[in-house]
Amino acid sequence: MRFEKPVPVTTIAQLIGAEVIGNKKGNATGINEIHKVEKGDLVFVDHPKYYDTCINSAATYIIINKKADCPDGKALLVVDEPFEAYLKIVNFYRPFTPSMKSISDTAVIGEGTVVMPGAYIGNHVIVGKDCIIHPNVTILDHCILGDDVIIQAGTVIGSDAFYYNKKTNREIHYKKMTSCGRVLIENGVEIGANCSIDRGVSHDTIIGAGTKLDNLIHIGHDTVVGKNCLFAGQVGIAGATTIEDNVILWGQVGVSKTLTIGKDAIVYAQSGVKDSIAGGKVYFGSPVEDAREKMKEFVWIKRIPQLWEKVMK
C-alpha cells in the first residue's frame, strides 16, 4: 500500500508507540509484506526466524519486537506487538469507508463503459473505457480496471485476502490481517460469472492484458497473472503465485501458493500444482508431472492385473 504522501517515520512511531533505532529523519512511502517490499516501505516482523530477512530486505523501516543492529539509512521501530502495529497503520491510513451508493461518488467510469443494474462499484475505483460490467458484479474499493474489460454477472473483484495471523498465546486462534492492497485488471481481460479475485494483502493482485477467465474461478491475494492466459472453469489459485504469459489452466486445476508457472505452460484438467513448474511444457496429475510420462504411467497401471496373473502362474 502506498501512502497518499510520504509520512515521517517519527509520525508512524508516535501512532504505534514505537521506539525508533536508526534513521529518525526519513519518510515512509508505504507499507508492504516482506515478499513485496520496496525502498521506502515499512515492513513488520514478529518471529526471530525472519528478523534478518526483514532487516536486510529492500524495506527502509522495520517494525520489530526486539532491539537489533540497524543498517545505515534504515530505522527499526521497536514495539511489543508488530502485527498489531501493522493493523493500526493500515486502519489509520486506509480505513474502511462504507459507500451506500451503487456507484461511489469517488469512482471514475471511462467513456463508453456500460454498468448494468445491480452492479456495485466502490470507493476510488477506476474503470477504463468501453468496458461492460454485467448485473450483480461487485468491484470493491481502490481496484483499477483497464479498457475493454468484460466482467460477467456475479463476480467479485477486490474481496479481502484469506490471510490470518496464527496466535498461540493461550489457545490457537487466527487474527485477520487487514487487506489494504488492490486488484489491477489490464486491458482486454474477460472474466466469467461468479468468479472471485482477492485484493493483495498490502500490494496488488494483477490480471495481465488479454487474459480470459471462465466461470467459478478463484484467484488469491497478491497473485500476478501474465498476459493472454486462459483459465477454464473452477480453477483455484492460492495467494502470492506468479503465472507467466500464455499459460493455459484447464478445468478444476488447483495451484498452491507462492510458486511460479512458467510461460506457455499448459496444465490439463483436475491437476494439482504444488511446486513451481517450467514453461513450454504440458502437465497432468496431482502433483503434476510431464503429461506424456503420466499417460505412460496410466498404461502400466492398467496392465498390473495382467502382470499379476503371469506372476501367479
What is the architecture, at CATH level 2, of domain 108-250? 3 Solenoid (2.160)
pLDDT in tens, 226-262: 999 999 999 999 999 999 999 999 999 999 999 999 9
Q: What are phi and psi of 117, to 5 degrees?
A: -60, 145
Asked if 42 contacts 31 with a C-beta cutoff of 8 angstroms, the reply is: yes
* Rounded (10°) angle between helices 82-93 and 9-16: 110
Between CA 117 and CA 88 the distance in angstroms is 37
Between CA 140 and CA 211 the distance in angstroms is 21
Asked if 182 contacts 161 with a C-beta cutoff of 8 angstroms, the reply is: no
Between CA 100 and CA 193 the distance in angstroms is 24
Q: Give the pLDDT of residue 301.
A: 80
| Contacts by residues 90-99 (CB-CB < 8 Å, ≥ 24 positions apart) | 90/1, 90/31, 90/178, 90/180, 90/202, 91/178, 92/15, 93/1, 93/3, 93/4, 93/7, 93/31, 93/180, 94/1, 94/142, 94/180, 97/123, 97/141, 99/123, 99/141
Residue segments in the chain with a per-residue pLDDT below the cut of 50:
none
Length of the chain in residues, anyone?
A: 313
Positions annotated as catalytic residues are 221
Reduced 3-state DSSP string for 133-157: ECCCCEECCCCEECCCCEECCCCEE
* Peptide bond just before 287 cis, omega within 30 deg: yes
Is residue 72 packed enough to be buried (19+ CB in 10 Å), middle (13-18) or exposed (0-12)? exposed
Asked if 261 contacts 277 with a C-beta cutoff of 8 angstroms, the reply is: yes
pLDDT in tens, 56-92: 999 999 999 999 999 999 999 999 999 999 999 999 9
Q: CATH: 3.30.70.100, 3.30.300.30, 3.40.1390.10, 3.40.50.10860. Which one for 2-93?
A: 3.40.1390.10
Asked if 198 contacts 162 with a C-beta cutoff of 8 angstroms, the reply is: yes
Residue 237, SS3 per DSSP: strand
Asked if 273 contacts 255 with a C-beta cutoff of 8 angstroms, the reply is: yes
Cell 492492497 appears where?
A: 181
Q: List, in sequence order, the alpha helices (H) in the chain.
A: 9-16, 51-55, 82-93, 291-312
Alpha carbon of 30 to those of 18, 27, 43, 51, 149: distances in Å? 17, 9, 9, 20, 29
For residue 11, count other CB atoms closer than 10 A to its CB.
11
Between CA 220 and CA 196 the distance in angstroms is 8
Joined grid coordinates for residue 98 = 462504507
Whole-model pTM? Answer: 0.92
Alpha carbon of 72 to those of 12, 90, 220, 261, 284: distances in Å? 19, 26, 36, 37, 49
Q: Give the pLDDT of residue 4.
A: 92
Question: Please, where in the chain does CATH 2.160.10.10 lie?
Answer: 108-250
Strand partners, 76: 21, 62
